[in-house]
Every structure is written in structure tokens, then in C-alpha cells.
């Protein structure tokens, strides 16, 4: 606990000293003048609120002081865009995503006041330690507290200032916040590591982020074999070629962009396998797509195929050139996700629901369903990780580990069998 010690001077003035122990050493701060006693009391509460430590941002003898700024300090949003523009080793789609997050989430949501002026809400701002109006963020003036306030604003969402019950921006998921915070960390780290550092530290280095598994990140739908068979049957009645692609998706667990980008040269007929080497990528912010590398390094992989899958592929490979796409729409071109989803998948699911299906799966749920079927057959998660092309086993465990609990009975039986095995009875005599 901190204490206040009055210290009279010869002049009759009294100085009030706040005294406390921090890490085994005595710490003191003095307050004088007409408001000295009141200021000392307020400071003692601050010290105790910080666990008997100097309050964050307080400079001894000076109080709360704004951090020194670099003479070349720049606007944070401009610096962040500069950082994204100069990043190497990323796709143009990733660059566009970064710049979108900078404009939307670093800068905040634009809101027009009644007087016609515009303000940005929910974005990064700098709140001076001594109070006063908030300031536009710069590379140098943003503090750890400012970053914490920004994270909290994303957690809570941005309510509409004048329309009760409405939102300018809904609450963000833990995963989305972590992704944006990671980008902000990199932006500040570039300012720290530049040839002439713009600031001495990274204000994002000790941010406490919300758990990424709070709430539902993605509502996954897992289909039983008979449920998928019902959808497949309905789709086959609409378009047999489309049904082949759906069967291939659920039978391999490939992402849509990977399966629809497969070419004849990717199939190894002798080894009954397919090589995943490319995927469709959105071109920047446009609605056009181009071929690029798969999502991660581990996404470049070879998948073993079943006899029935190979038989289906042979039908589609007949008469194709090496660079022809395996799965093609009515015009002989590669399927576009929007066309397949709206013209084939949705009608098939709707018909299956009319016939009794109780689930409404998305196209990506075929990948989740594939995993569920593998786990049902006791395929270990590391093998599933390799098949899905996940960069880390953590991704596989976090997303699908809960399904393994369905095997608890079999695991318990295996343990029981192992524990119940007869122990060896001494040494065996060799005669």
C-alpha cells in the first residue's frame, strides 16, 4: 500500500510525499502548492490501482507526459498503406485485403454529423494521457492504451450514434481481431526497424487479444453419407457433370479453388493420384480470377484417389489436352464458383430439403464433411492435415479436434485392452 507523508518546509509550506515499495525499493513522488494534498491523494490511488507501481505514462516530477515524437512522424494510415504497397512475397489479392483492412478498420467507420461534418468511429485514435480531445493517429503518438481501446471497440462493435439499436459496425470475431492486430503489429514493427527508427517500441507487443474461439467462428455443417447421397442424386438429375465435381469435392476434401483449377496434366493415371499445384485467386479487389499458387506451401500436395474417383476422372480426361481443365461448365470453360453455387448447388440442396433433408450445407461444407468421414474411420489428424493442406496441425486440431471425441468409446476400449494384457511371468528359459 502507498502512504502519504507530509513534509513541512522552513517557509511553512507543506510538501506531500507519496511513498511505496516497488520491486523491493522505495519509490517517492512529491506534490506541493495549494492542491498538493489533493493531488497526492489522487496519485496514491493511481499507484495502488497499478499494483503499487508507477502509473503507465507517468514521468517522475512531471506527471503524465506525451511521448516524444520523431521529427519525421507521419500519419499512421498513410504509413500503413505505404507498408502494404511495398510488401514483397504476397499475392495482389492479399495486398488488396491488407489495404481494405487499413481503410476500413484502422481508419474507422465514416459517420456524418447533423452539421454536415464527418467523423471516423471505431478506428485507431490517440487519446492524450492528460485528457483533451482525441487526435488522429500517427506512427509516433499511438500508445499501447490506444491499441487496447481499438481492440475493445472491435469486440464491442460500433453502435449508431443517433439510431438506437442500429450499428455502424457489428462486433468482430476473435479471429478477425487477431488478424487485424497482426497487420497493425507489422506496420509498427516496420517503423521500429526502419534505418532511422520512427519510434523505440511497438505498441502492439503486449496487447491482450480476445480468444479466437469465443463464439462461433464458422458454423460448419457435417453431412451423413445418406444426406450427401440425397444431394448428389438431386444434382445428378440437374447436371451429371456438376454432380461429378461435387462428388470429387466431398471425396477429396479439396478447396473449391483447388478442385476447379485442376488440369489434365495434374492426374497421374499410373499412381492413381492427383497433384494440387494451383488454385483460383481473386485478382485484387476485382471480380475477376486468375490462377496462382495454392493457399499455403503445404497446400501443394499429392492426393491418393480411389478406383471410383479414377474411373470418373478418366471419363472427363477423354480427348483433353494437358492444360485443359478437368471440370468444366456448359461452355467448356472452368467452373466459376458463383455459377456453380447458384445454378447447380443451391437448386440441388433445395430439392433435397423438399425431399426431407434437414440441413442446408454450403459448398465449403463438403470439405468439412470429408474430414468428418475420415475421422469416423479413425484416420489420425496428422494424416488429415496433410490431405487438407493445412500449414499447421494446430489448424486441423482447432477446427476438427472436437469430432475426435466421438471416438472416446473406441479409445477407452483400446486402453482397457492394453491395460488388461497379461504381464510376462519372469524370464523365459531357453533350453
Please report the pLDDT score of residue 47 as a whole number.
85
Does residue 381 belong to any structural domain of this protein?
Answer: yes
Domain boundary among 15, 32, 64: 64
Tell me what the mean pLDDT of segment 286-314 comes to.
87
298 vs 275: CA distance, rounded Å: 12
Please report the pLDDT score of residue 431 as a whole number.
44
Please report the pLDDT score of residue 306 as a whole number.
94
* Residues 242 and 118 both lie in one domain: no
Domain boundary among 171, 193, 215: 193
Does residue 111 belong to any structural domain of this protein?
Answer: yes
The count of domains in the chain is 3
pLDDT tens-digit profile of 15-70? 999 999 988 889 999 998 888 899 899 889 888 887 888 876 677 887 766 555 66
* Residues 359 and 233 both lie in one domain: yes
Please report the pLDDT score of residue 423 as a whole number.
46
Does residue 427 belong to any structural domain of this protein?
Answer: no
Please report the pLDDT score of residue 187 as a whole number.
96
* Residues 368 and 392 both lie in one domain: yes
Q: What band does 406 get if pLDDT is binned at 50, 70 and 90?
A: low
178 vs 181: CA distance, rounded Å: 5
* Residues 247 and 326 both lie in one domain: yes
pLDDT tens-digit profile of 144-181? 999 999 999 999 998 888 888 888 888 988 889 999 99
Does residue 425 belong to any structural domain of this protein?
Answer: no
* Residues 235 and 340 both lie in one domain: yes
Tell me what the mean pLDDT of segment 264-293 comes to.
85
Distance from chain centroid for Cα 52: 36
Does residue 204 belong to any structural domain of this protein?
Answer: no
Domain boundary among 143, 171, 193: 193
Does residue 419 belong to any structural domain of this protein?
Answer: no
* Residues 44 and 14 both lie in one domain: yes
* Residues 310 and 376 both lie in one domain: yes
* Residues 288 and 377 both lie in one domain: yes
CB 105 within 8 Å of CB 178:
no
Which residue did the predictor score with more confidence, 54 or 327? Answer: 327
pLDDT tens-digit profile of 110-156? 887 777 777 778 889 888 876 667 788 999 999 999 999 999 999 99
Residue 334 in this model has a pLDDT that exceeds 80: yes
Residue 359 in this model has a pLDDT that exceeds 50: yes
Residue 319 in this model has a pLDDT that exceeds 80: yes
* Residues 184 and 243 both lie in one domain: no
Please report the pLDDT score of residue 376 as a whole number.
86
Q: What band does 243 get if pLDDT is binned at 50, 70 and 90?
A: very high
| pTM higher than 0.75 | no
* Residues 276 and 396 both lie in one domain: yes
Q: What band does 317 get if pLDDT is binned at 50, 70 and 90?
A: very high
305 vs 288: CA distance, rounded Å: 31
Please report the pLDDT score of residue 177 as a whole number.
93
Please report the pLDDT score of residue 34 as a whole number.
83
* CATH number, position 314: 1.10.443.10
Burial class (CB in 10 A: 0-12, 13-18, 19+), 59: exposed
* Residues 258 and 395 both lie in one domain: yes
Q: What band does 426 get if pLDDT is binned at 50, 70 and 90?
A: very low
* Residues 14 and 56 both lie in one domain: yes
Does residue 40 belong to any structural domain of this protein?
Answer: yes
Does residue 69 belong to any structural domain of this protein?
Answer: no
Q: What band does 403 get if pLDDT is binned at 50, 70 and 90?
A: confident
**CA proximity to 407, closest of 381, 388, 427:** 381
Domain that holds residue 366: 225-412
Tell me what the mean pLDDT of segment 199-208 comes to.
92
134 vs 157: CA distance, rounded Å: 19
Tell me what the mean pLDDT of segment 370-398 comes to.
85
Amino acid at each position: 500500500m502507498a502512504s502519504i507523508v507530509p513534509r513541512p518546509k522552513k517557509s511553512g509550506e507543506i510538501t506531500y510525499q507519496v511513498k511505496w515499495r516497488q520491486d523491493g525499493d522505495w519509490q517517492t513522488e512529491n506534490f506541493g502548492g495549494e492542491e498538493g494534498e489533493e493531488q497526492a491523494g489522487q496519485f496514491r490511488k493511481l499507484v495502488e490501482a497499478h499494483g503499487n507501481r508507477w502509473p503507465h505514462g507517468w514521468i517522475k516530477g512531471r506527471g503524465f507526459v506525451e511521448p516524444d515524437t520523431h521529427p519525421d512522424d507521419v500519419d499512421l494510415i498513410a504509413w500503413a498503406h505505404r507498408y502494404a504497397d511495398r510488401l514483397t512475397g504476397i499475392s495482389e489479392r492479399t495486398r488488396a485485403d491488407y489495404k481494405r483492412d487499413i481503410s476500413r478498420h484502422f481508419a474507422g467507420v465514416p459517420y456524418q454529423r447533423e452539421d454536415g461534418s464527418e467523423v471516423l468511429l471505431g478506428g485507431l485514435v490517440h487519446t492524450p494521457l492528460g485528457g483533451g480531445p482525441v487526435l488522429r493517429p500517427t506512427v509516433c503518438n499511438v500508445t499501447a492504451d490506444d491499441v487496447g481501446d481499438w481492440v475493445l471497440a472491435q469486440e464491442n462493435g460500433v453502435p449508431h450514434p443517433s439510431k438506437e439499436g442500429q450499428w455502424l459496425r457489428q462486433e468482430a470475431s476473435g479471429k478477425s481481431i487477431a488478424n487485424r492486430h497482426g497487420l497493425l503489429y507489422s506496420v509498427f514493427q516496420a517503423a521500429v526497424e526502419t534505418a532511422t527508427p520512427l519510434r523505440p517500441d511497438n505498441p502492439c507487443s503486449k496487447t491482450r487479444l480476445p480468444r479466437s474461439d469465443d463464439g462461433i467462428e464458422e458454423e460448419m455443417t457435417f453431412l451423413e453419407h445418406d444426406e450427401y447421397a440425397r444431394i448428389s442424386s438431386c444434382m445428378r438429375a440437374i447436371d451429371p457433370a456438376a454432380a461429378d465435381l461435387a462428388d470429387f469435392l466431398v471425396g477429396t476434401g479439396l478447396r473449391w479453388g483447388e478442385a476447379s483449377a485442376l488440369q489434365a496434366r495434374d492426374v497421374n493415371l499410373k499412381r492413381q493420384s492427383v497433384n494440387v499445384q494451383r488454385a483460383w485467386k481473386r485478382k485484387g479487389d476485382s471480380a475477376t480470377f486468375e490462377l496462382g499458387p495454392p493457399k499455403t506451401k503445404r497446400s501443394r500436395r499429392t492426393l491418393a484417389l480411389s478406383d471410383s474417383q479414377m474411373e470418373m476422372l478418366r471419363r472427363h480426361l477423354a480427348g483433353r489436352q494437358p492444360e485443359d481443365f478437368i471440370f468444366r461448365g456448359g461452355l467448356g470453360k472452368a467452373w466459376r464458383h458463383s455459377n456453380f453455387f447458384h445454378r447447380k448447388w443451391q437448386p440441388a440442396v433445395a430439392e433435397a430439403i423438399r425431399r426431407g433433408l434437414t440441413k442446408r450445407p454450403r459448398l465449403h461444407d463438403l470439405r468439412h464433411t470429408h474430414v468428418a468421414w475420415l475421422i469416423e474411420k479413425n484416420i489420425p489428424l496428422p494424416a488429415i492435415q496433410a490431405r487438407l493442406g493445412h500449414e499447421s496441425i494446430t489448424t486441423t486440431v482447432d477446427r476438427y479436434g472436437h469430432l475426435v471425441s466421438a471416438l472416446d468409446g473406441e479409445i477407452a476400449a483400446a486402453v482397457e485392452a492394453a491395460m488388461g494384457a497379461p504381464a510376462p511371468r519372469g524370464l523365459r528359459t531357453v533350453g
